A and B are shown apart, each in its own frame.
Chain A
Amino acid sequence: DIQMTQSPSLLSASVGDRVTLSCKASQNIYKYLNWYQQKLGEAPKLLIYYTNSLQTGIPSRFSGSGSGTDYTLTISSLQPEDVATYFCQQYNSWNTFGAGTKLELK
């Protein structure tokens, strides 16, 4: 099975900061990588699919990049409503999620 490792597990940042979350796969996943945002008590929400495609209705401050085994979710200017846990998910071979990065305000 492909393992997904997210870092950091906890990130504290200030409003307006540029924030970068990382996701590393145990093998090449050929950009078959999605990002989800999960707020407390809610279902996950799809943000980015196939590494860098923005889901409809998601603010443009969210962006994704990467290739091979290394992927990144970037928030260009952190907003208070972005406080959440972010999960990456690969679908190159079955489907597996990372353990998540919890993003909080400093």
Chain B
Amino acid sequence: DIQMTQSPSSLSAYVGDRVNITCRASQSVFTYLNWYQQKPGRAPQVLIFRVSTLHSGVSSRFSGSGSGTDFTLTISNLQPEDCAIYFCQQTYSELLYTFGQGTKLEIK
């Protein structure tokens, strides 16, 4: 199985800040890396797919980078509505898709 490890597990930042969430794969997933945002009581929603492509309707304050085993989700100009849990996911291995454990973002 390809293990996905996110860091940090949680973070707290102010409105207007820029934050980075990292995701590391236990082996290369090339560019088959997606990011999701989940708010309480809701299903996850895709933010970014294939490392850096923004899903339709997603704010340009979100961006993604990386390749191989190391990836980063960056949120610029943090807004109160960004309070959520963020997950990375690899779909390189068709035998088993795996998610990171999640990063809980709190807005101070």
Partners in one complex: no
A residues at B contact (CB < 8 Å): none
Q: B interface vs A, CB < 8 Å?
A: none
